[in-house]
Structure 1
């Protein structure tokens, strides 16, 4: 028999009742949390239609929620403890913002009735996580909480990031206001661009001698992939993937795919040399990592930018920026521009498989990635957080379907392992594999307990080289002397995983790896239990 939920204005209806109804109305009835005492009155006794997922650290909470929301394409609800909980989640919230993932984040606070006396656990929360939330609110009255949570949902979707509401612990049991919360029941978002100017874009593309495209995470959906493929084929343009993107913006097995754009200005200028018009779709123009002198793009290159994100349009170097749905714009352009011959550059050539290591030689990341190339299902979601081997991964493993590649655009570690759990929870029918560095995995290792407890059938491939390999190489190249940090080869991730209830295996040889992946990867879609594969590898000599 379904539970009774008091109607708006009904006697005995509490603020908590009203907030749970907001979650039901928005279809966000799964809560991700690591509770503290300020959350007891909200979380205990949840109705049966509200799902709860526990993680053992707030960074893992937000990381799992971010993966879930990425897979679902809608906001996830996160509940965090006061000061320490919110602070522990800061890095994960920064990643959610940079990855443009909507989250509704409810943060606990001490009892409103004695906050003025600064009691134990009273949080000084204003500004604690900087400007990473797209919206933050501390309701003036308990009765304002349901409206604030409803608005947070709309703000998270509109702003493409986490929206925070701070709720004192006594507010949940306060009587709800008799009137409906002051927030729209539904928000319709119109396309903001003036598509009457589409003929101008058509004329620019038609007038270009040699157009080129850069695609990014904002183009990673089925409609945009189809539209962008049609447009690239129509105008005969090669398509580059943005550097450091959270997702792939174009099918990487398509003949027009040119590769991953370098993250430095010299490499960008070389890649774009000979082109006279650059069309950037769903990516910044253009995100860099190391500072390098010289122009960002060649001076004779005209730049057009199509993005759904206003802030992305405002800080680029485009001649013309279009804030609109990329699928709509690219689809219309593909129908109108004049056809051209195939791209002037051939499809990206994948490197030849590396030979298995000789007796006594170590495995390298390329050996792992060659096996993934052969065995990974085409609809797999591959999450990457292995900075030292990411370039080799990108050279060898292709994203062949939308959501085929996921990474942390913010650059901080700790996203990969928890997000993998969330991705599999949010897309249970898709195969999900993570490629993680051992250093990266340690930042979010607590999420393995959640994976085991909730029977999340993802596979975690850990490139265990016992060091921060990318930092070691950066230190070497700096010419400033020896790095002060030691290696950590004594860390046994298999033991850590098993201690958290997750099955794990240590792999040292190519034969062991080939046999294991040949057995496990074909089962990914229906797998119900997680597996951590602790792969002993030598540091890869290539990192950028």
Structure 2
């Protein structure tokens, strides 16, 4: 007998979703037991890691991933990671198990009240009316996840999988084409705006990461500076390009100052504009016109732009690069040096001035670790970031040189980097993958280390361990009080990694750091065993003040204090 399960497997094969990320429960046994040989099962020890690994896999393959969750507990545990996948615009199909359909009305044990449990974060949620509707629901979820770039949920009662599927039809197109061209007539208003601009600028983000070549061509045609969106999920432009000027400030006063000299700002695959701390006032100065190109309908609908295009950014930029008249570089195209030191001045965006100093036997600081990584990472590295207190230095020292050269969590919740790095390396087994993670963030996704070890996923995890939530400490300080939470410096990340089967090295000084990096990085692309470097780092209070400046917390006061300080070393 041909069953719903058999028909669903055919849909999975047709759509390429043949890797199943899962932490199983009893309501999924009828789906998962005795899988065909052409379907791969990947176990994670927590649902956050399930979705995180699927997120990395989907980014690496540029195609929807498949995850299976266990009714209320599984979906509830995964909601934060689902929210991150939505904010990161990652396509994913999630099957959620449910109790037997035949007695759901009596709310038996493990019956899930699943409607709305994940809020508005899924791009689509389906509860098939009949068992025979499940294969079509899965196919439609694949199309929804692809079209709207996010997670699509299908809730499936456990008895549905064994139901007969004879003479039924999958109610979804076998192939769905999405035309991407934009007629020149429709582009005419944007061409006119850019052609007439005195000093244009581009802000780019994760939505442009698939169109680097076309965006580079447009930026060079315009001779204009390119900013990266703040808190972006991926780099939208090569960050070692001469026209790249850095990460856009995340508060309104500094945002207005950064864009003040530009009369036209074109946002490409980026929101207009992502903020952190609230400050009153407009986003840009009067006289600055904002235009937007995005394929995200929600992003287009909420953006305060005077002209917005809902279209593929790569296609639009490629055509604009041919239609817009070439111009010489204008104001705002100067960028700070990309050399390791010095990197900034008090007048430039970014934390304190870095100056080259002899290495001492003193405590390691995060910037020294990042500097040593920068000297050794290959150009094709996939770099996953989740170190909030060190992010400004990471942006400056480790520019993305390929579209996956910076991958982060746009949502801001912790627990993304470890599982995402595992999924990325599974999808890209011949590319070096490095995750740079704070210990607070690593603790929220530590179960992924078991999956990395068990499936022989050769990712390098560099954990900057300061034994505290450094950003939270600083924010509490900004609010004029003492944080009630203690440090957690008793935690050994190396010990936890080893307990989960992952090789780990504790790093306490500069010599141990360089020795470990020199040993592992040259062979990282071919490595088949994960390694965690538990790097003990200290936090400079001045560095924390600079962090607040980068986040836009009390920006005016911090800026005034910053301008009054002399350049200092943070090494």
Name the TM-score class by shorter chain.
over 0.9
Cα-to-partner distance string for 1:421-463 (whole Å, 9 max, x where unaligned): 0010011111100010000000000000000000000000000
After superposition, the Cα gap between the structure-2 partners of 1:356 and 1:168, relative to the gap in structure 1 and judged at 3 Å, is farther
Match of 1:294 in 2: 281
> What is the CA-CA distance between 1:194 and the residue it aligns to?
5.0
Which residue pairs with 1:18 in the alignment? 7
Equivalent in the alignment of 1:376: 377
Q: After superposition, what is the alpha-carbon deviation per residue over 1:98-139, rounded to whole angstroms, capped at 9, x for unaligned?
A: 101011100000111111111110101011110101010111
Aligned counterpart, 1:527: 527
Distance 1:503 1:355 in 2: 32
Q: Which runs of 5+ in 2 are unaligned?
A: 342-354, 551-571
- The alignment status of 1:393 with 2:394, answered yes or no, reads yes
- Structure 1, unaligned stretches of length 5 or more? 1-11
- Matched with 2:178 is 189
Residue 347 (structure 1) shift:
2.8
Partner of 2:501: 501
User: How much has 1:329 moved relative to structure 2?
Assistant: 1.0
Q: How does 1:4-153 map to 2 (within 5 A)?
A: 12-153=1-142
Indicate the residue corresponding to 2:443 in structure 1.
442
The equivalent position to 1:355 in structure 2, one of 354, 357, 366, is 357
Question: Are the aligned partners of 1:246 and 1:409 in contact in 2 as well (CA < 8 Å)?
Answer: yes
- Contact 1:255/1:348 (CA < 8 Å) preserved in 2? no
Residues paired across the two proteins, number: 529
Does residue 411 (structure 1) correspond to residue 412 (structure 2)? The answer is yes
1:334 aligns with 2:321: yes
Determine if the alignment matches structure 1 residue 279 to structure 2 residue 281.
no
- Given candidates 334, 337, 340, the residue that maps to 1:346 is 334
Judge which range, 521-530 or 435-444, deviates more: 521-530
Q: How does 1:168-207 map to 2 (within 5 A)?
A: 168-191=157-180, 195-207=184-196
CA contact (8 A) 1:99 1:246 kept: yes
2:149 pairs with 1:163 = no
2:182–2:315: 8 Å Cα contact kept in structure 1? no
Cα gap change, 1:192 to 1:458, in 2 (>3 Å):
same
Q: 2:266, 2:278 → 1: CA distance?
A: 23
Cα pair distance change 1:192/1:227, threshold 3 Å: closer
Determine the structure 2 residue equivalent to 1:313. Answer: 300
**Is this contact kept in 1: 2:4–2:134, CA < 8 A?**
yes
1:226 partnered with 2:213:
yes
Report the CA distance between 1:200 and its aligned residue: 2.2
RMSD of aligned residue pairs (Cα, Å): 1.2
Distance between the aligned counterparts of 1:527 and 1:256, measured in 2? 35
Displacement of 1:355 in angstroms is 3.0
Larger displacement relative to structure 2 (224-233 or 433-442): 224-233
For residues 533 and 512 of structure 1, what CA distance do their matches in structure 2 show? 10
Displacement after TM superposition at 1:374 (Å): 1.0
Report the equivalent of 2:234.
Answer: 247
Deviations 1:463-484 (A, max 9, x none): 00000000000111111x2110
* Pair 436,66 (structure 1): closer, same or farther in 2 beyond 3 Å: same
Query: What secondary structure, in the 3-state scheme, does the structure 1 residue paired with 2:375 have?
Result: helix
1:127-161 deviation per Cα after TM superposition (whole angstroms, max 9, x unaligned): 11101010101111111111111111011101110
Contact persistence 1:357–1:363 (CA under 8 A): no
- 1:69 shift after superposition: 0.2
Mapped contact 2:199–2:330 kept (Cα < 8 A): no
Matched with 2:566 is none
Q: Distance in 2 between matches of 1:53 and 1:114?
A: 31
User: How many angstroms does 1:519 deviate by?
Assistant: 1.6
What's the counterpart of residue 561 of structure 2?
A: none
TM-score, length of structure 1 as denominator length: 0.96
Cα distance in structure 2, aligned partners of 1:114 and 1:218: 44
User: 1: distance between equivalents of 2:378 and 2:330?
Assistant: 28
CA distance in structure 2 between the aligned counterparts of 1:37 and 1:192, rounded to whole angstroms: 47
DSSP-derived class of the 1:406 partner = coil
Give yes or no for contact 1:67–1:418 (8 Å, CA) kept in 2: yes
SS at match of 1:304: strand
